[in-house]
Structure 1
Amino acid sequence: MPSKYRPQILGWIGDLDKGTQYITGADDRLLYANDNYCAFIRKIKSDQIFYLCIFSFVAIGLIPIMILWLLLIFVYNIYNQLHITILGVSAFIICFIAFYVIIPEVYQNLFTRRGSPIIFNRKTGKVYVNESYFFNFKVLRNPLTFFHPNKKRIKEYDWAYLQGVVVHNFSNYSLNTTILMVCKPHTHKTIDHILLDPARVGVGSYMVWGWVNNFMCCNDLINLNAGKYKSEQEIQFKKEIIKGQGWPEWMVEAFNATSQSELAEIKQKYHVKP
């Protein structure tokens, strides 16, 4: 059965239901939680360094390879042999596409800071992200964005219109990724994606989704002190994770909004459009 969210995402395994039927155990990516909001880290530093090295090595290696293919086509093919031209052009296009796909991976691993946390407020039903523009599941991009490697995406979403799906990475390690599909209100049409829990093995890929669902449903079984920072350490959490990362002031204040009316007051205070 295909995904009900359209267009279906590449590597789709299954759609995830919302609710409190998931395991409530703490996850090592939980940074902080209080009665209003929780924060999950999405980038482990060791993984970030590993993938940065791998993708950087491949990207750097592709540059001389593409140059060699161009030389073969325009310099060394002195007799203009058609089969050599076709081979050279085909190989160059393949290398260029690979380079186009890899560069965003280099950018997002290079410019992601402090784990790129995602914030869920269960009182207002809002979700907040402040991430590298390239930290997503897109393939087609505006080529001009490649000249802005540290470009950010800072957005507010409605939890009601976020739906979870799991995809695999086509490797022998069976790593799964949980993605939030941003749907057009009251439809299954996808208009955006958010990476929730990248590259996990097996059942681990469902842990963050399960904990978030229990949190957003106000399930009392979850432990708000199971994260890296305890509930009473909010000041320390914001100082070490949020401060200096470009989060708008209104958004940081909105983390703790306890109702839609309070959120509206915060936005009005900072002249933010509803």
Structure 2
Amino acid sequence: MNFAFTKMHGLGNDFIVIDGRTTDITLQDEHIRTLCDRHLGIGCDQLVLLTPPKHPEADVFVHFYNPDGSEAGACGNASRCVAQLLGNDPTLQTLNGLLPTKQEGELITVTMGRPRLSWQDIPLATACDTRHLPLYDAAACSMGNPHATLFRSIEDATTLGPILEHDSLFPERANIGFAEIISRRHMRLRVWERGAGLTLACGSGACAAVVNAVRRDLVDRHCTVTMEKGDLTILWREEDDLVLMTGPATAVFTGQLS
């Protein structure tokens, strides 16, 4: 069977997007691993499969797959890419619920939902203060997927990231962010992503880093997050607890898969 794909990226965080809304496409773990491999396949940080929505208010159901074949509940950069690809400000259905989108010029805003802050909802293996984990004094929350943020040098991402992803405190593994606070409105961030490794950008990780930093009174609720290839703007609204992420999305090329 042949089907089309689009290669896209959000600040260098790159994706293969496959539209399965009108064609029944079944991808096994080995297919995903091969397609995501930068030597044996197309290469990407995550594969995104679009299917018909199951909710009446959604325009599309978006599945996010890591390079190891596991499915993620959320991906902010990929959500912006899907919104740019489909146009007309679609509402995305994900495992984390409905994500409304809005495009203004080259920037796309995705409403990423409310952060989950209790240890059970992240989830963690044991009860603890999620603002100060007993693990490098990290802070943790869920943005549809588990995140821990360490407020230390971003250069530590390559050494500590792969270790902490698999720490026993995280029964479902975790995305590990390393944040350097520049000011109340600005931070630098690198993220070791669960199932993907070190990426150039992580949208849900940027949301989680701002949420965790606000909870530690390190930044304001409206904050710029600088990653290796550019900036995201994150707003954690106080009035409704929703997190909004704004940034660009870019289509790179299209092709056919067999």
Instruction: State the TM bucket, normalised to the shorter chain.
Output: under 0.3
Bigger helix fraction = 1
**Greater length-normalized contact order (CA 8 Å, ≥ 6 residues apart):** 1
Q: Which of 1 and 2 has greater Rg?
A: 1
Could you state the TM-score of these two structures normalised by the residue count of structure 2? Answer: 0.27
Could you state the TM-score of these two structures normalised by the residue count of structure 1? Answer: 0.25
